[in-house]
Amino acid sequence: MKALQLVQPSASPDAIQVSTFTQQMPTCGPTEAVVRVIMAAVNPSDVKASLGHMPQAVFPRTPGRDYVGIVEQGPKAWLGKTVFGSGGDVGITRDGSHATYLVLPQRALLEKPEALTLNQAACMGVPYLTALDGFAKAGFPQPGETILIGGAMGKVGLAAAAIAKVYGARVIGIKRKNTAAVPSHVCDVLYDLEDPELAVKLMAETQQKGFPLFYNTVGSPYLALSLDVLAHKGKQILISTLARDCPFDIFKFFRKEMTFYGVDTLKKDTVASNQMLAQLVPHIASGRLRLPQEDMPKIYTLDQAAEAFQQVFVKGGIGLLQISTP
């Protein structure tokens, strides 16, 4: 029984110090449960936290926000059930999922739908939670409404598109020219950011009215474009950025009476996170939520965790740690 430990922030991705130690079976309290982790994701946020980029992250700790596993201690009704989930506190301010055993509040337990594979369950937490939180703040799309997603082939972009389709929206996506389209993505139309006629084409998609909602998963590269293609009183969701200082045309912003919504899922603990993810369970079970058929993330052992962290930092995306057998 092993677990990872980060003793202190690492100076650089190449110097990430992730050690393993022998983990004893935890004893859970009266309101807790113990989950034996089968697989856990390595998300970009896990890597950033290991580098000290998140001031709330504590050390030493076991990292890992997302997981799928089997309940081994806790309420009798939950024993043996396969659960999945995420949390802004898990792996950040409390020991996380990169371990054989994970202690969770009982209120955070979320049963995995049969339609969801173990691999999918292990790595959908942060992307889908982020997408959901953005829509919860700005409003979910209306049936027949046309919305725009920037960075549409990234993990959150794919999740946002899939959720928007559940609500009956028409989805226009933007990607970088050198980024391949993910097979089975659900965008109705996909454009390249480098297209010199992009703004004209986007406005044509809305009959010159502009988009009511722009889900901007990348931030600064799309900011100027967003002010041109959003409708009057248009809304923009922002979850990240490449450049922190982002000049933009404030005149366009206030004359169109726009609203920007920021998303930070680290503010949601595991109970709040999994209550939000639970909204997707009926749509997963029914098949309404169409998960893109991506190439599955590379699977690492716990002993290869440092490599997993480095690769996620360099290449983006998500890695998977195989921690125990089902």
pLDDT tens-digit series, residues 63-85? 999 999 999 999 999 999 999 99
Percent of the chain with pLDDT over 70: 99
> Whose CA is closest to 46, among 269, 322, 301, 310?
310
Q: Which residues contact 161 (CB under 8 A, 6 or more apart)?
A: 149, 152, 171, 173, 185, 186, 187
Ordered alpha helix ranges (H), the chain: 44-50, 118-123, 125-138, 155-166, 198-205, 223-229, 250-255, 270-277, 281-286, 305-315
> Whose CA is closest to 186, among 205, 204, 163?
163
Instruction: Give the β-pairing of 259-262 and 299-300.
Output: unpaired
The number of angstroms, rounded, from the C-alpha of 171 to the middle of its chain's C-alpha atoms is 19
Distances 207 to 145, 148, 211, 216, 266 between C-alpha atoms, Å: 12, 14, 10, 21, 38
Tokens representing residue 16 in the block: 């990430």
Tokens representing residue 230 in the block: 């959003």
Distance CA 161, CA 163 (A): 5
What residue ranges define each of the domains in the chain, with the CATH number in brackets? 2-124+294-322 (3.90.180.10), 127-265 (3.40.50.720)
Tokens representing residue 176 in the block: 């970088």
Residue 13: per-residue pLDDT: 79
Residue 315 vs residue 206, higher pLDDT: 206
Percent of the chain with pLDDT over 90: 85
Judged against a pLDDT cut of 80, whether residue 297 lies above it is answered with no
Judged against a pLDDT cut of 80, whether residue 293 lies above it is answered with no
Residue 296: per-residue pLDDT: 67
Residue 292: per-residue pLDDT: 74
Instruction: Give the β-pairing of 67-73 and 82-85.
Output: antiparallel
Residue 151: per-residue pLDDT: 96
In a 13 Å sphere around the CA of 281, the CA atoms on its Cβ side amount to 15
pLDDT tens-digit map of 213-238:
999 999 999 999 999 999 999 999 99
User: pTM of the predicted model, to two decimals?
Assistant: 0.94
Distance CA 200, CA 83 (A): 46
